[in-house]
Amino acid sequence: MKKQAGIATLVLLCGGIGAYLLSPAGREEAPAGTRPQTPVNVAEPRIDRVRDRVNAVATTAARDAIDVTSEVDGRVLRLHFNEGQRVEANQLLVELDDRQARADLRAAEAQLRDARAKFDRASRLPSQSISRADVEELQAAMEVAEARVLSARTVLENHTIQAPFEGALGLRYISQGAFVRAGDRITTLDSISPIEVVFSVPERYLAELEAGQRVNARSDAFPDQAFDGEVTELGTRVDPVSRTLQVKAALDNKDGRLRPGQFMSVALTFRERDALLIPEEAVLSQGSEQYVFVVVEDNEVERRNLRLGQRLIGEAEVIEGLAEGERVVITGQTRLSTGDRVTVLDDPDARVSVRASLQGNDR
- Do 320 and 307 meet the contact criterion of CB atoms below 8 Å apart? yes
Q: Give the rounded percent of residues in the chain with a pLDDT score beyond 90.
A: 66
Predicted pLDDT at 8 = 46
3-state secondary structure of 363: coil
Predicted pLDDT at 31 = 53
Q: Which amino acid is at 255?
A: D
Predicted pLDDT at 358 = 45
**Greatest distance between any 2 Cα atoms in the chain:** 166
Predicted pLDDT at 351 = 56
Q: 26 pLDDT exceeds 50?
A: no
What is this structure's pTM? 0.61
* Cis check: omega of the bond before 194, within 30 degrees of 0: yes
3-state secondary structure of 51: strand
**Separation CA 336–CA 310 (nearest Å):** 26
Predicted pLDDT at 359 = 47
For domain 67-190, the CATH architecture is Beta Barrel (2.40)
Predicted pLDDT at 269 = 86
Residues 6 or more apart whose CB falls under 8 angstroms from that of 343 comprise: 37, 38, 39, 40, 299
The H or E element spanning position 268 is strand 263-279
Q: 362 pLDDT exceeds 60?
A: no
**Separation CA 271–CA 274 (nearest Å):** 10
Same fold yes or no, 54-64+192-273 and 67-190: no
What confidence tens digit (pLDDT) does each residue in 158-174 have?
999 999 999 999 999 99
The more confident residue out of 195 and 363 is 195
Range name among 106-110, 261-265, 306-310 with the lowest pLDDT average: 306-310
Predicted pLDDT at 363 = 46
- Do 244 and 234 meet the contact criterion of CB atoms below 8 Å apart? no
What residues pair up with 87 in beta bridges, in sequence order?
167
The H or E element spanning position 156 is helix 132-157
24 — pLDDT class (breaks 50, 70, 90): very low
Average predicted confidence (pLDDT) for the chain: 86
For domain 38-48+274-362, the CATH architecture is Beta Barrel (2.40)
Range name among 18-27, 135-144, 207-216, 288-297 with the lowest pLDDT average: 18-27
Q: What are phi and psi of 248, to 5 degrees?
A: -120, 135
- Do 272 and 50 meet the contact criterion of CB atoms below 8 Å apart? yes
Range name among 134-143, 180-189, 270-279 with the lowest pLDDT average: 270-279
Q: Give the rounded percent of residues in the chain with a pLDDT score beyond 70.
A: 86
Q: Where are the domains of the chain?
A: 38-48+274-362, 54-64+192-273, 67-190
Predicted pLDDT at 190 = 95
348 — pLDDT class (breaks 50, 70, 90): low
- Do 197 and 251 meet the contact criterion of CB atoms below 8 Å apart? yes
Predicted pLDDT at 67 = 96
The more confident residue out of 309 and 1 is 309
**Separation CA 235–CA 237 (nearest Å):** 6
- Do 245 and 209 meet the contact criterion of CB atoms below 8 Å apart? yes
Predicted pLDDT at 239 = 93
Mean pLDDT of 172-181: 95
Q: 12 pLDDT exceeds 90?
A: no
Distance of CA 1 to the CA centre of its chain: 87
CATH number of 54-64+192-273: 2.40.30.170
CB atoms within 10 A of CB 137: 14
